[in-house]
Structure 1
């Protein structure tokens, strides 16, 4: 079964988000989502999309006064809404907040921008970024087609991974990706999932914006 924190369907994603970011508060009504642009034509076919352009920036996450205290900062795409994970070290929620060596610290919701998905920021202990990212992906059940490459996140050396997971509700594979950087305060993993592959690809500009603007704090 896919890791519980992954987006399985819009309602499930909102339920998980409510548990992690709002404690025991009553869930808010399901918001209306206006669908954003989705890839079409040849780029929408599996495995044929080119590099995504970065999205316009609206704010910075991770720095002083931002929604989430993180070892890195990066620019957020317009209308994406960040929220810190409440009590991520609580063992009661370990199935939702832990994946391999990493603990989720922040999630950035794409619904206000018209997409169904999140950027999630995870942290792990000090060490090579690739080792932490490999442990993160290995803990993802039913991951296939895993490909790693060395790259840059801003000016920082980074490791990036692309892979697919099989969604049991949709009964089809969907693309996911993440990049990891090592900082003096530990490794940071920024992950992009999505309801399905089309949503994932539509959100790539926000992911690329985070990657190209990342800075260690």
Structure 2
């Protein structure tokens, strides 16, 4: 039997659903639409909510960088170091991405969330719903013991999402953002008992293969679970 791409890269077979919000693996056919969404705008030009100012690029270069980033994460994926980047669909429309990045996960059982939404889809509660969904995936299905996040102190929207999901404030780090610009990054920590769950149950497909891909359940596949 011929292997599919999802057989080789099980993250592409993941599907996490919470009501109208769906997180799923981004295939190559999705990357063009995602790149166009990013080029249409993620934030106002006078703001920079990201540590790396990749959205300062010209639209054509930005589109290419979006695709390259996802290809690079796939190529570097291993149990020792992995970035899970899921596309976010709201009522069937691609609206952004939600990620979970970690190193030495089998030891640390922790990872950091990161995400973005196209500007046309912000301010509608989607950011909170997708963060809750990725945290439920991590805690309920991937045996995580902690999830972290970070946001610059001048990014109140991201900090508000973290509060709604149940994160607690950690320390702060002073970083260079754009050329010569100081920014203060607020660290946040979430543990399983503090997760504020949404009104919709979270269902997961494609879980056994992904757990094996990150070094969990190497002998016996885990059954599909629903929370």
TM-score of the aligned structures, taking structure 1 as reference length = 0.30
Larger radius of gyration between Structure 1 and Structure 2: 2
Which structure is higher in RCO with an 8 Å CA cutoff and minimum separation 6? Answer: 1
Q: Which has the higher strand share?
A: 1
Q: Which has the higher helix share?
A: 2
